[in-house]
Structure 1
Amino acid sequence: MKFDPILTRALRLARRGKFGEAIHHLESEVVRYHNSFIYYYIVGVLCLRAGDFGGALTYLKRAREIRMQDPQVLLGMAVLFLRRGDTDRALDIYLEVLDKDGHNRIAQKALNGIRKYSGTDDFALWIESGKLTRFYPPLPKLPPRIALVSLGVLAFIVLGGGMLLKFNIIPLPFKSVSPRDGYAGSALERGELQTPVQISGSYRYILTKDQVVDTYNKARSLFTELRDEAARVELNRIIESNASEAIKNKARLLMSYLEVPGFDTLKDRFSYATVAGDPGLYRDCHVIWRGMAADIDAGESATAFDFLVGYDTHRTLEGKVPVFFNFSVAVNPEKPLEVLGRVIPVVTGDGQGIEVHLEGIALYQSGIPDAR
C-alpha cells in the first residue's frame, strides 16, 4: 500500500517507537483526512501502543463507522473491551473476526486467553501483565526503501524493455489480467450474443438486442473500474428486463462479486429522489444519505428508526425511510447523522406502489458514545 508523505512519516516514527510524536504529527492533520479510514485506523492503533486507550477508542470507533466490518478495526475494539473486563463483548467481536477471517491468528490467540483466564483469579493479572499487546491490530507496513542505484537499474530495465517491446524486438510474454475476480468468466459467449432477448413474457424493461448487450457490457466495464453501485444498477436493469435467462444468470454471477463499500470507498452516490423514482432499479445498491432519526427502537441486538432524509438542516424533508440495523447502534435523535445502507424496495401496504427501506451497514454521527 502506498501512503502520502504525512502518513509515511507517522509510520516511520512509529517504527522507531515514537508513538506520541507520530500521534501529534497526525492529529494536526485531522481536517485533511475527513472520512479517511486509514487515517483513523492508524491513529487509533498508535494510541493503543502509546497507552492512550481513550484516544484509541475515539479513533477506532470512527474508523469502524467508515468500515463497519473491517477485521483489523474489530480487533482493536475487542482488545479495548478486554482491557476493561467486558469479556462478553470482546468474545463476540473476536468470533465476528473469525467469521470473516477464519485464520486470523490474533483473534484465535485472544480467544484462547479468554477461555483460559476468564472467570479465574488470574484474569486481572493477565490483563495487567502487558500481554494484551500481542492482541493489538497491526500498523500498516511501509514498502522498503530502495537504494537510488537500484532504482536507476530498475528504470533502465523498464525503459529499455519497453523500447524492445514497442519495436517488437522481444514478444510480449503475457496478456494483462483484470485485477478483479469474476471478470474473465463474465464475458458473453457466441450463443448468448446471438439470442440476447426473450420473445414472450412480462418485464419491467423492454430492451432491444443491442441494448441488452450494451447494458451488460457497460456493467462489466463499471465493474473493472471498481464502480460497483453503478454496475449494480445496470445489472438490475438486465435482470428486470427481457434479456435471455443465460445473460441474466451471468448478470447474477457478476453481481455476486460486487463488494460492500464503506463511507470512504463509495464512488457513485445516488440521491433519495433518484432512488425513490425507481426503487427496483436500485435494489441492493448502497447509498449514503444525511438526515435525522425519529421513532428510534433500540434493542440489544438490533436498532430501527425512521430516517428523515435531508432534514439535517430542518428545512427540507426529502422523504421518510425506515432503517433497520441487524446489530445494536447508538443513535442521538437530536443530532444529524449519515447512514450507509443497502436499498430494499418494499411493496406499500395498499399494494399499489413500492417504497424505499434501508438495511443499515454503518452510521456516522458525532457524539455517539459507543460503536456497537
Structure 2
Amino acid sequence: MRIYDRELKRAYRWLAAGKYTRVIRFLLPKIPSYRQVSSFYAVLGRAYLENGLVSDADFYLKRGLALDPDHLEIRQCLAVNHLKRKDTASAVKAWIEILDDYPEDKISSNGLKALKKLSKPGTQERFLEKFNPRRFLPAMPFVLPNWAPAAVLILIAVITGISLRKPIASILSSIGTGKAKRPGTEIFIQFGKDIAQTDENVLLPMSEEEINRIIKKARHHFDNYEDNSARHELNKILSSNIAESTREEVNGLAKLLAESEFNSLETAYTYKDVASNPKLYEDCWIKWSGVPVNVEFRDDSIAFDFLVGYEDGRVLEGSVPVTVPFLAVMEPLTLELLAKVEVNGSSFRLVAKTLHFQRQ
C-alpha cells in the first residue's frame, strides 16, 4: 500500500513496528480530517485487527471500502477479520471476489487453499482458534527495532576492543543454559533479612516472613512478565511496614514494569476489588465494560463518568471518573475500557489507554 501523506506514513511505520495501540490513539482524533481517505481507514482498521478488536476493525475497514471498493489491502484485511470472527463462509466469499479482480493475488489464493485442507471434523475449529492472521495479510515493511542502535553500539565496542568479556560471557552463559533472566531480577536477589520494621501505622502490617512470601510471589510474576500481577504484589509490600531501604528498591522495581495491552492483560480485577482498597491497585491496569456519561471534551483530552457494569442497563457496579489523555470520537455505545488506576487518598480515578466501543 502506497501512502504519501506524512501523518499516515508515521502511523504506518508504527503499525509495521507492532505499536497498534499507539496507531489507534494517534489516528482516532484525526477522523474528521481524513474521513474521505480510504488509506486512513486501511491503517486504522488493520491496527484494530492486529489488536484483536474485530468489531472496530470491521467498522473502520468497511468505511474505507465504501470510499474505495477496489482497495486490495482493505479487502484482504476484511477477509482475515471474517476468520477472526469464525465466519469462514464470508472469508471464502471475500477471497473469491478478490481473485476475480486480482487473479494473481497469492494471499487470497493461499487463504482458500488453507481452508480447503480442513476437511476432517474439528480441524476447522482448531485452525480458527490458533491460526496466524499475518499468513493472510499483506507483509508490512521492515522497521528497525528500538534496540537496534544499542546493538550497533555494542558491536562497535567489541570491534574496537573495549573490554566487554565478562558481560558477554554472562549473557552467552544465560543463553546457553536457557535461563536468561529479565533485567531487574537482580533487585529481588538483593532482598535479605531485616526488611521489616516495627510500624503498626501502615495499611498492611506484616511479619518479615509474610513480606518475603509476597516478594517471592511478585518475583514469580515479574519473571513471567505478568506485570500487572507483579505490580499488585509490590503495592502490598509498599503498603506494609518494610524498611525504607527496601521500599526504595521496590519503587525501583515498579518502574521496570510494562504497561498492559488490551489483549494481554493477565488479570481481571473488578470494580469491587479496586473500590475496597484502591491503594493496593495503584497504577494497576483494569479492563471494564460500562457506559460513559457526562462526557466533556477538552483541548487535548476527554473526561467522563464511567458507569461500570451498566452496559445492559440493569446492574451498576459503581461509578468512577475517567480521563482520556487523547482525543477520540465518543460513540453512544457500550464501552470496554483499558485504563490505569490512579489513587487520590481513599478514592480513585482511571486514566484510559484504549477505548473499545461494542458495536454488537
Normalising by the residue count of structure 1, what TM-score does the alignment of the two structures yield?
Answer: 0.52
Q: Deviation at 1:229? A: 1.1
Q: Write out the 4+ residue segments of structure 1 that deviate beyond 4 Å after TM superposition.
A: 63-67, 171-176
How has the CA–CA distance of structure 1 residues 209 and 273 changed in structure 2, closer, same or farther, with 3 Å as cutoff? same
- The reply to whether residue 205 of structure 1 matches residue 204 of structure 2 is yes
SS at match of 1:238: helix
Task: Give the alignment partner of residue 48 of structure 2, picking from 62, 66, 88.
Answer: 62
Give, in whole Å, the separation in 1 of the partners of 2:223 and 2:175. Answer: 23
Give, in whole Å, the separation in 2 of the partners of 1:242 and 1:173. Answer: 38
SS at match of 1:205: coil
How has the CA–CA distance of structure 1 residues 137 and 305 changed in structure 2, closer, same or farther, with 3 Å as cutoff? farther
Give, in whole Å, the separation in 1 of the partners of 2:305 and 2:175. Answer: 57
- Maintained 8 Å contact 2:309/2:317: yes
Give, in whole Å, the separation in 2 of the partners of 1:336 and 1:173. Answer: 47
SS at match of 1:313: coil
Give, in whole Å, the separation in 2 of the partners of 1:304 and 1:137. Answer: 35
Give the gaps of 5 or more residues in structure 2: 2-19, 25-36, 54-63, 65-138, 145-172
Give, in whole Å, the separation in 2 of the partners of 1:246 and 1:137. Answer: 47
**Identical-residue share of aligned pairs (%):** 25
Give, in whole Å, the separation in 2 of the partners of 1:330 and 1:206. Answer: 46
Give, in whole Å, the separation in 2 of the partners of 1:341 and 1:197. Answer: 33
Q: Deviation at 1:299? A: 2.4
- The reply to whether residue 226 of structure 1 matches residue 212 of structure 2 is no
Equivalent residue letter for 1:62: Y
Give, in whole Å, the separation in 1 of the partners of 2:187 and 2:208. Answer: 21
Deviations 1:49-70 (A, max 9, x none): xx96265144145259779xxx
How has the CA–CA distance of structure 1 residues 54 and 335 changed in structure 2, closer, same or farther, with 3 Å as cutoff? same
Specify the alignment match of 2:264 in structure 1.
265
Q: Deviation at 1:179? A: 4.6
Equivalent residue letter for 2:353: I
Give 1:343-358 correspondences, 5 Å limit. Answer: 343-347=341-345, 354-358=346-350
SS at match of 1:304: strand
SS at match of 1:362: strand
- The reply to whether residue 278 of structure 1 matches residue 277 of structure 2 is yes
- Maintained 8 Å contact 1:346/1:355: yes
Specify the alignment match of 2:188 in structure 1.
186
Task: Give the alignment partner of residue 334 of structure 2, picking from 330, 333, 336.
Answer: 336
Deviations 1:258-306 (A, max 9, x none): 1001101111120111111111100010000000000001123111100
Specify the alignment match of 1:25 in structure 2.
none
How has the CA–CA distance of structure 1 residues 64 and 249 changed in structure 2, closer, same or farther, with 3 Å as cutoff? farther
Give, in whole Å, the separation in 2 of the partners of 1:173 and 1:261. Answer: 27
Give, in whole Å, the separation in 2 of the partners of 1:339 and 1:173. Answer: 38
- Maintained 8 Å contact 1:66/1:362: no
Give, in whole Å, the separation in 2 of the partners of 1:178 and 1:184. Answer: 12
Q: Deviation at 1:218? A: 0.9
Specify the alignment match of 2:141 in structure 1.
138
Deviations 1:190-220 (A, max 9, x none): xxx2212112462111111101111111101
Specify the alignment match of 1:24 in structure 2.
none
- Maintained 8 Å contact 1:304/1:324: yes
Give, in whole Å, the separation in 1 of the partners of 2:180 and 2:286. Answer: 26
Give, in whole Å, the separation in 1 of the partners of 2:174 and 2:142. Answer: 38
SS at match of 1:323: strand
Specify the alignment match of 1:364 in structure 2.
356
Equivalent residue letter for 2:344: V
Give 1:286-365 correspondences, 5 Å limit. Answer: 286-332=285-331, 334-347=332-345, 354-365=346-357
Give 1:78-89 correspondences, 5 Å limit. Answer: none
- Maintained 8 Å contact 1:300/1:327: no
Equivalent residue letter for 2:48: R
Aligned residues: 219
SS at match of 1:339: strand
Normalising by the residue count of structure 2, what TM-score does the alignment of the two structures yield?
Answer: 0.54
Specify the alignment match of 1:117 in structure 2.
none
Give, in whole Å, the separation in 2 of the partners of 1:244 and 1:366. Answer: 47
Equivalent residue letter for 2:183: D
- Maintained 8 Å contact 1:298/1:329: no
Give 1:111-130 correspondences, 5 Å limit. Answer: none
Give, in whole Å, the separation in 1 of the partners of 2:274 and 2:52. Answer: 22
How has the CA–CA distance of structure 1 residues 204 and 335 changed in structure 2, closer, same or farther, with 3 Å as cutoff? same
- Maintained 8 Å contact 2:51/2:263: no
SS at match of 2:348: strand
Give, in whole Å, the separation in 2 of the partners of 1:64 and 1:329. Answer: 19
Give, in whole Å, the separation in 1 of the partners of 2:201 and 2:50. Answer: 44
How has the CA–CA distance of structure 1 residues 249 and 273 changed in structure 2, closer, same or farther, with 3 Å as cutoff? same
How has the CA–CA distance of structure 1 residues 137 and 208 changed in structure 2, closer, same or farther, with 3 Å as cutoff? same
- Maintained 8 Å contact 1:270/1:287: yes
How has the CA–CA distance of structure 1 residues 178 and 137 changed in structure 2, closer, same or farther, with 3 Å as cutoff? same
Task: Give the superposed CA RMSD.
Answer: 3.6
SS at match of 2:197: coil
SS at match of 2:336: strand
Give, in whole Å, the separation in 2 of the partners of 1:307 and 1:172. Answer: 47
Give, in whole Å, the separation in 1 of the partners of 2:142 and 2:312. Answer: 38
